Amino acid sequence: MESPLVALHHATKSFVDGKENHRVLNDIEFSLLPSSSVALTGASGSGKSTLLNVIAGFEPLTSGELHLDGQNTASWKDPQWSRFRHQQLGVVFQQFNLLTPLNVKQNIAFPLNLNRRSWNDWCDHLVDTLGISTLLNRHVASLSGGQQQRVAIARALAHQPKLLLADEPTGNLDQKAGMEVMALLTEIASQGNTAILLVTHSLECADFMQTRLHLQNGHLTTQDLNREPLYDLH
């Protein structure tokens, strides 16, 4: 069997709040295969961003194990984390988080520069597909929300990472722009064999992913999609 790109075993994450110990993730088992896609839903405050932060190494686990690309990260120090983030990870946030002093092309090239690589055919393909090839010299602050999120997606995927973590990437977009961005993100990630873990409130966005998980009271459950048939044949 193919080994998972991300695996969590008995993963627990607690935050100390005053004297209270607040357990946000409770004995989680999770795995994500290469090139697969998972939607993560759950109420506000249920720990979705915390789970992403744990996987990206921004928050250490309180107990349990995180394996990335088959390696137990328990012994990882800054150099291993930096290498993983620079080479294997792309991240898209709700707030776009673009580098405002830079133009569109410089933003997209940023992760390539971290890997000592430069603009290439894949980048041309990315900006063509995302419909932002005419915006490359524009300052990112002058773009619409939908355009900025397309730039953020290009930046997250420019170095063809194995893993894309997307935290409510359509949360600041209207319905139409949000669906367009989701369709593009899914298409480009699949072309680059990038696995996606998508946090979303929207069931329509979740439907772009192969599986859906729900986080509640610190536990992850698989959701039956239970889709209505598109057409009534009778």
Closest C-alpha among 122, 180, 175, 131 to residue 151? 131
Q: Does 107 bind Mg ion (CB under 5 A)?
A: no
- Smallest distance, Å, CB 48 to ligand ADP? 3
CB of 47 to ligand ADP, least distance (A): 4
> How many positions of this chain bind Mg ion (CB under 5 A)?
1
42 binds, among Mg ion, ligand ADP, none (CB under 5 to 8 A by kind): ligand ADP
Q: How far is the CB of 169 from ligand ADP (least distance, A)?
A: 13
* Using rule CB under 5 A, residue 49 touches Mg ion: yes
Query: Do 46 and 221 contact (CB within 8 A), yes or no?
Result: no
To 10 degrees, what angle do helices 175-191 and 145-157 make?
10
Distance CA(147)–CA(67), nearest Å, equals 34
Question: Which partner from the list ligand ADP, Mg ion, none does 200 bind, CB cut-off 5 to 8 Å by kind?
Answer: none
Among residues 26 and 113, whose Cβ is nearest to ligand ADP? 26
Contacts with ligand ADP by CB under 6 A lie at: 15, 24, 42, 44-50
Shortest reach from residue 183's CB to ligand ADP, in Å? 24
Residue 200 binds Mg ion, judged by CB under 5 A: no
Binding site for Mg ion (CB under 5 A): 49
